Chain A
């Protein structure tokens, strides 16, 4: 029997059907053979070692595992890897461009929008998706867009402020970001 990409001599996982999947993660193409029940969250964290994507409940309640699928936020814990055949996935590791941080990343750091940092990757990606479709959102739009991601540390206030700051910077015509 062929081992999957984890290289384990598999047992329960080994006994399950596997399927080949091609996907593009942060611009990098991958061809994987994964058990059909493997979630995108598991594939990202365990097979591809992209541990920037977090988990908090693995049943779709907390939003920690949010990644972008063709630019739209999805819960990777509820997405099967085999479902994303041929699609584009962006994780927090894919936010930087040519060694330059995304304006949202800078704003989160500067405004104190991270405390424990555990929700930060999901917040960043969800906010990026918002700003990509709505470059200068109202506060209510920001609240609506981020409402699926929970944070227990910040009270959300500095997260909203950071998204507003990033929007301003990205919108400025002479922006170097």
Chain B
């Protein structure tokens, strides 16, 4: 791909996103903006009980209400589904048992919303309450009552236990060992757009169409087919522009299947839009996670061994949990060389809305624990926390102890740039009491190396059609959730063809019309769709260049495309407008329609669990945060954030900065305010007023620094930015609070109450720490021993062709 980098015309330019005009005029149509003739309105009835048997559901009074057209309960949609093949534990409506307060038990379709709402109040449900399991500790301690029967024992959903190298040997080599406990509170995505789906079953054709605000139309298509017992090719899913996802619209959801079933029963279109309260129950957000980390170091700070244990509160269903369990331990090794590493995790079921992937999927929690732990280690050793990190960094072109292949790696540059920009060396430990600066680093994947369900097919495909008007259309199942995937596709295609992003017409996110893309998750779209789009565009350009070369009488290799023109590089006066060149190509070759397919490189690890973590490339970030803390009130105010991100190459710097700033914002909410918390089995705050999140008033200035490392596997060298920059901000804030006040808040969110408690304790001569006190009493199974890559860290894999 290096040849394409000569001089770039649109890649790297701060152009408006291609969907900006629709969004700035209110013309973009989100799912709930759609309506069809004779459409019915659907609503869900939610369980009031966190854990109970359903003894009886009586819908007869509701059915008698004028305007109610259909009602379904669990027995009408009993087929189990779930996002992961190993987690097929959900039904569209609860069958015989409810597992969290807020779980849907019935669905109504009516002529209008008022009637649907009224009908819900007429449905009678008789519950037999069971003891709710509401915490990690309870789930580990109480094997009964069981939330699910399909797991081998008690309420334990998934386990991981791996050891790379020889941890005992590594600790024996250490001069100093430290261990810490942390708790990361659960929180939720809170997209501004409520989930919404419109289903239409065409009985004559036997086809179902679902318009939905989803990040994963392909997986929703599969789940709908399964749950409704339809052939997959009779189900068409069209993802509408997503009004905020952040991972929260990556699962197949109750309302999607219920809308479809109600449409099949009534023969009319049915729309279900969740209420804001229901969005809190739909959740799939950040797992609450208790973590224990123990690290051995040499006197100079070099790590000799690390053990990491994680206890994940999964909520009531699997969702992406089997992957989340491994993400608790997978990415510690891509920032630091850890010679011997043991990782153990357990995910438990509790009677709460299911947890799943939120921005950073399962990695912000361990990153927070690791980066605060290393900060403490540095203080113990009398080292600058930045220096401790620099002594342990991974480099480019290396394979981690757990067999992840790092290609480009700009972590060192990120650290240097942030240290320089923030004045770290002048400020650390020298700011007045109450003011502090904190530092942390992080890394993330550019797309999961494996699909959700095992298959050998490409993860992303793009078709391009060039017609005789000169119009270029790109077809891709990628869905723009605000991250800018439409702009990435248009920019890559435009760059290759010498056009502008606005010239590219896009057909996206329609399982009938567009070739596969697995979805907007795991920060995979720029890497995978971008590469597929690049390949398809290059093939189209070859055909156009061959036709133009003959017309202009110059060799193909001398042609270049730029500014909507195909021309001879040596004599630019020999030129054709792009549209004319396209017509010549169609005359000579027939329809100009080309394809590109992308599949990630083979993973290097072969052990059980090695499927989580491999990625074509990894992005890197470093962050410094300056805070002002009020020791009287405990309030933490973030004054400024410096964030450097190794983007590989910015396809569009405005979008990259936007993702960085948005990540900082979301991280600040997680570390200082947000809590998906429960009391007596009920969600404590299922409203935006009670669920505290930052507003425009709390947002500090952010200095975004882009580091470009030209990733060899990325389109034009690009890597991800949607998720990675969030990760380091959270621990950097925690470390800044310590620098400001000398207290450690080892659990999120860092609220004024916790800060005051720690200060109070410190004043009484205590350590000045708030956080979990002890690890749960749980015996992990002996870890599976995995050999390190031979010659680690100098092992070199065979590069793919």
Binding site for B on A (CB under 8 A): 6, 8-13, 16, 45, 51-59, 61-62, 64, 91-93, 95-96, 101, 105-106, 108-112, 114-121, 124, 143-144, 146-147, 149-160
Main secondary structure of the interface of B (DSSP, over half): loop
Bitwise interface map of B from 462 to 503 toward A, beta carbon under 8 Å scored 1, else 0: 000000000000000000011110000000000000000000
Residues of B within 8 A of A106 (CB): 24
Bitwise interface map of B from 176 to 214 toward A, beta carbon under 8 Å scored 1, else 0: 000000000000011111100000000000000000000
In the complex, the answer to whether B483 meets A118 with C-beta atoms within 8 Å is no
In the complex, the answer to whether B658 meets A152 with C-beta atoms within 8 Å is no
In the complex, the answer to whether A159 meets B29 with C-beta atoms within 8 Å is no
Residues of A within 8 A of B513 (CB): none
Q: Within the assembled complex, what's the spacing in Å between the Cα atoms of A118 and B242? A: 8
In the complex, the answer to whether B244 meets A10 with C-beta atoms within 8 Å is no
Q: Can you name the residue of chain B whose Cβ is closest to the Cβ of A106?
A: B24
In the complex, the answer to whether A117 meets B112 with C-beta atoms within 8 Å is no
In the complex, the answer to whether B190 meets A152 with C-beta atoms within 8 Å is yes
In the complex, the answer to whether B28 meets A154 with C-beta atoms within 8 Å is no
Q: Within the assembled complex, what's the spacing in Å between the Cα atoms of A165 and B14? A: 16
Interface stretch, picked from B161-169, B408-416, B676-684, B688-696, is B688-696
Contacts beyond the supplied A110-B20, A118-B244: 9 A-B pairs with Cβ under 8 Å:
A57-B687, A59-B687, A108-B24, A109-B16, A116-B245, A117-B19, A117-B482, A118-B192, A152-B693
**Chain A: minimal CB distance from B63 (Å):** 13
- Please tell me if B666 contacts chain A, counting CB pairs below 8 Å: yes
Residues of B within 8 A of A120 (CB): 23-24, 26
Residues of B within 8 A of A109 (CB): 16-17, 20-21, 23-24
Q: Within the assembled complex, what's the spacing in Å between the Cα atoms of A146 and B276? A: 21
Q: Within the assembled complex, what's the spacing in Å between the Cα atoms of A153 and B14? A: 18
Residues of B within 8 A of A58 (CB): 275-276
**Chain A: minimal CB distance from B23 (Å):** 3
CB within 8 A of A117: which of B16, B22, B118, B665? B22
Residues of A within 8 A of B28 (CB): 117
- Please tell me if B25 contacts chain A, counting CB pairs below 8 Å: yes
In the complex, the answer to whether B276 meets A57 with C-beta atoms within 8 Å is yes
- State the 8 A-B residue pairs at the shortest beta-carbon distance, nearest first: A52-B26, A11-B67, A116-B482, A117-B23, A118-B243, A155-B665, A92-B26, A109-B20
In the complex, the answer to whether B67 meets A117 with C-beta atoms within 8 Å is no
CB within 8 A of B27: which of A52, A62, A154, A157? A52
Contacts A12-B112, A109-B16, A117-B482 hold; do A62 and B654 have CB atoms under 8 A apart? no
In the complex, the answer to whether B26 meets A116 with C-beta atoms within 8 Å is no
In the complex, the answer to whether B702 meets A155 with C-beta atoms within 8 Å is yes
In the complex, the answer to whether A11 meets B111 with C-beta atoms within 8 Å is yes
In the complex, the answer to whether B26 meets A111 with C-beta atoms within 8 Å is no
In the complex, the answer to whether A92 meets B66 with C-beta atoms within 8 Å is no
Bitwise interface map of B from 139 to 170 toward A, beta carbon under 8 Å scored 1, else 0: 00000000000000000000000000000000
- Please tell me if B657 contacts chain A, counting CB pairs below 8 Å: yes
Q: Which of A108, A150, A155 has the most CB of B within 10 A?
A: A155
Interchain residue pairs with CB less than 8 A apart (28): A10-B67, A13-B114, A13-B115, A45-B33, A54-B193, A57-B276, A59-B689, A61-B687, A62-B688, A91-B26, A101-B25, A111-B654, A112-B14, A112-B654, A116-B193, A116-B241, A116-B244, A117-B23, A117-B24, A118-B191, A150-B695, A151-B192, A152-B189, A152-B665, A155-B699, A157-B701, A158-B658, A158-B661
The B698-714 residues at the A interface (CB cut-off 8 A) are: 699, 701-702
Q: Within the assembled complex, what's the spacing in Å between the Cα atoms of A116 and B23? A: 8
Q: Within the assembled complex, what's the spacing in Å between the Cα atoms of A47 and B41? A: 15
- Please tell me if B105 contacts chain A, counting CB pairs below 8 Å: no
